Amino acid sequence: MASETKVSPVEIDTVYVSRWGYDQTNVEFFQVVAATPKTILLREIAQRAVRHIGNMSECVEPLPGEFVGAPFRRKIHPEMRNGVSLTTFSNAYPWDGGAEFQSHYA
């Protein structure tokens, strides 16, 4: 009987995005640096504003390879479109490639 090699559903270098906030919309980007069939190792990456919307809001895009955080591991949730839970109040999902709206105070 041949053994089956399980492959991760997520490719290395995939960019993930997290949007969260109450009175403002915070956007964070992460890059997959390693993957197993059930988990991914993520690192936060820098972002850049690509369009200013108005006072204290803009659209942002990630800067892959420009790491700003230490690596951390998360379980892949196939039922969440291969999303991951980051905290009790935020999740991250594979980024679709479009600019993300972000707002802030100060």
Query: How confident is the model over 26-66, as pLDDT tens digits?
Result: 999 999 999 999 999 999 999 999 999 988 999 999 999 99
Beta bridge partners of 47: 62
63-97: pLDDT as tens digits: 999 999 999 999 999 999 999 999 999 999 999 99
**Rounded to whole angstroms, what are the CA distances from 15 to 9, 54, 106?**
14, 26, 27
pLDDT, residue 54, reads 85
55 vs 40: CA distance, rounded Å: 36
Residue whose entry in the numeric block shows the structure tokens 């850049």 = 48
Phi-psi region of 13 (alpha: psi -120 to 50; beta: other; left: phi over 0): left
Q: Model's pTM, two decimal places?
A: 0.91
Domain ranges of the chain: 15-96
Pairing of strands 84-87, 90-94: antiparallel
